[in-house]
Structure 1
Amino acid sequence: MIQTIAPRSLTLGHLYPDQLNLYGDRGNILTLQRRCQLRGINLRIVGLGVGDALAPDEYDLLFIGGGQDKEQAPVAQDLYEMKGIGLWAAIEDDMPVLAVCGGYQLLAHYYRPAEGPDMRGLGVFDAWTIHKGAQTPRCIGDIALRWNDQTLVGFENHGGRTYLGTTPPLGRVLKGSGNNAEDGNEGAVYRNAFGTYLHGSLLPKNPHFADHLIELALRRKYGQGTSPGEPGSLNGQFHPDTEDDHTSSPELQSDLASSLLTPLDDRLEWEAHASILERLGLHTEAAAALRNARDAVNVSLALS
């Protein structure tokens, strides 16, 4: 008897797709969808607008993008009153959540705009945001940060300054402003929830981070392989601080083979990543990204 293996599937909840959609943030959704499709994973996208409740058991990933202050006020109220309990339950159950810019701010304790009352956040991140007024320059431009032993790149454009309490940052700024242009932190992390100011959009230029979110969702749903944080759990990510060519390494091949995700040919993605690093004068990091582009092809061919 031939046993058929059911295809893997995930459901992504896209919070406020009509209100919070600045600076190409929808490209993050398209990237997740495409990278799943190339691996035979069905990613269903469900929009959650104002007035919609969030039932955590119906989703495997959540995304919330950025918007202007005038759009954030009604969203902040709805997020707190309609979706807060469900979102908290999802996050405490280790559901992967990506929150960009305005969405990031609304998952902290509060956002204090330049004018008007504070907007209450959910307090997922022990953080708060203050807009210091038009006299304070915006944090705008290309940005690169150190995430674990790799780099993340993107574009930031925010007037608010975010300050962290006990919550650890997503990464440390290499070039750019980050949370507040003062302390070198960028973003925030709580369990599998990630807040960041990186637009640009984030996931098309950072395939390793996109795959990290997908694999977290797969491991949570299907319970396969190693736990997040164990060797090999990040889809065979390459370590650009290491100079050796790892494509023939038995250890790396083993890590990749045990991953839930088949390696893809990410040459274009890594070249786009490297171009931002070059523009920022981060030549060593750009060279590492180009090695990733080469290695992605070699490993993809080796495992095909």
Structure 2
Amino acid sequence: MSADPVVYPHTGPAPARGAIRILQLYPRDMNIYGDWGNLLTLARRSQWHGYDVELLSYNNGDTLPDEVDLVVGGGGQDSGQERIKKDLVSIGPQLRGWAADGVPMLVICGLYQLFGHRFVTGEGSEIPGIGLLDAETVAGPGRLIGNIVLDSPTFGRVVGYENHSGLTRLGPGAEPLGSVRSGDGNNGEDGTEGARVHNVIGTYLHGPLLPKNPAVADWLLERAVTLRGGTWDPLPIDDADARHASTVAASRPR
């Protein structure tokens, strides 16, 4: 069974505007390169915008909650993907249903790959995905590593750190998160990075992604709030440190 949610109250003197229920997928096996920071960023920004936060975790063999407002998942090594693959396929229908209903999701690296159709390892074995994203990944001969900068039509400049050997190619049912300004992206060839469908974002960007890209974090939170009929009216947040971190990361050589 999954653990009970951990509740963090909103900050500020006014009554809470509501509660945002955030589910982290497979934190035991898929949580490397700082991906935990994405969950923390979503929680803190929710509080700063006046919302109570309920944090839930789902690990191998747990029971999914009936309803969530936002899903986040991280990356992992091939061994981690092997450990979760059967369980992920078993919950795939519910995840696809949530996505079709508009639940926002952010999945990084290993889970990005398994949200596609399949991942073929360097040894030639196939790890099936759940087909939520129209994408397919095959292990390449080397690693794509370093700071990466994207131009996104929705978010503007997006900065992160990539470290993957998988070469991902998108089908017609997915659009990229952005075009690569500096770095390799999905495969080092076609200039794309990440994938989007419904309110779901898959990407290779670690770092973690959200602290340096608050526009992406607030986009996810806005969709979580409006999903349940709420009105998104964000409170002012001083993002000077986030902007500085993004600028520094973008200026560093690969």
**Which residue number corresponds to residue 127 of structure 2?**
119
Query: Following the alignment from structure 1 to structure 2, what is the Cα–Cα distance between the partners of residues 185 and 196?
Result: 10
The answer (yes or no) to whether the contact 2:16–2:51 under 8 Å persists in 1 is no
User: Where in structure 1 are there 5+ consecutive unaligned residues?
Assistant: 225-258, 282-304
Offset of residue 85 of structure 1: 1.7
Q: 2:102 aligns with which of 94, 102, 125?
A: 94
CA distance in 2, matches of 1:69, 1:213: 28
Shift of 1:5: 6.1
SS at match of 2:33: coil
User: Could you say if the C-alpha distance between residues 280 and 151 of structure 1 is closer, same or farther in structure 2, counting changes exceeding 3 Å?
Assistant: farther
Please give the residue correspondences for 1:101-116 in structure 2 after superposition, counting only pairs within 5 Å. Answer: 101-116=109-124
Aligned to 1:284: none
Aligned equivalent of 1:183: 190
Cα deviation code 1:193-236 (max 9, x no counterpart)? 10000000000000111111111101111243xxxxxxxxxxxx
* 1:142–1:276 Cα contact (<8 Å) kept: yes
| Structure 1 counterpart SS, 2:137 | strand
- Which structure has more relative contact order (CA 8 Å, sep 6+)? It is 2
**Separation (CA, whole Å) in 1 of partners of 2:251 and 2:26:** 34
Please tell me the residue identity of whatever aligns with 2:72: F
Preserved CA contact (<8 Å) 1:175 1:280: no
Residue pairs, 1:57-72, within 5 angstroms: 57-72=66-81
**CA shift digits 1:9-32 (9 cap, x unpaired):** 011110001100110000001111
Counterpart check, 1:20 vs 2:30:
yes
- TM-score, normalised to structure 1, is 0.76
> After superposition, what is the alpha-carbon deviation per residue over 1:51-102, rounded to whole angstroms, capped at 9, x for unaligned?
12324x4200001110000110121211001x11211110010100001000
Q: Which residue of 2 aligns with 1:143?
A: 148
CA distance in structure 2 between the partners assigned to 1:124 and 1:146 by the alignment? 24
For normalisation by structure 2, the TM-score amounts to 0.90
Which of 255, 262, 267 is matched with 2:235 structurally?
262
Q: Which structure 2 segments of 5+ residues have no match? A: 1-13
1:129 corresponding residue in structure 2: 137
The answer to whether the aligner puts 1:37 opposite 2:37 as a matched pair is no
Question: Match for residue 170 of structure 2?
Answer: 164
| C-alpha contact (below 8 Å) 2:18/2:52 kept by paired residues | yes
Cα distance in structure 1, aligned partners of 2:138 and 2:93: 25
Bigger Rg, which one: 1
Distance change in 2, residues 1:28/1:61 (3 Å): same
Distance 1:62 1:6 in 2: 21
Aligned equivalents of 1:45, 1:6: Cα separation in 2? 16
SS at match of 1:58: coil
Q: Structure 2: which amino acid aligns with 1:272?
A: A
User: Which residue in 2 is equivalent to 1:152?
Assistant: 158
Say which SS state the counterpart of residue 76 (structure 1) adopts.
helix
Q: Can you list the C-alpha shifts for 1:242-281, whole angstroms capped at 9, x where unaligned?
A: xxxxxxxxxxxxxxxxx52112000000000111222259
SS in 1 for 2:228: helix
Counterpart mapping for 1:237-248 below 5 A: none
Q: For the residues of structure 2 that align with 1:219 and 1:61, how far apart are their CA atoms?
A: 11
What SS does the corresponding residue of 2:45 show, helix, strand or coil? helix
- Contact 2:20 2:69 survives alignment (8 Å): yes
Count of matched residue positions in the alignment of Structure 1 and Structure 2: 239
Q: Which amino acid letter does the alignment assign opposite residue 103 of structure 1?
A: L
Q: Percent identity?
A: 43
More strand by share: 2
The secondary structure found in structure 1 opposite 2:22 is strand
Aligned equivalents of 2:186 and 2:103: distance in 1?
24
Q: Considering only aligned residues, what root-mean-square deviation do their CA atoms show, in Å?
A: 1.6
Q: Alpha-carbon deviation of 1:185?
A: 0.3
The question of whether the paired residues in 1 share the 8 Å contact of 2:16 and 2:52 is answered with no
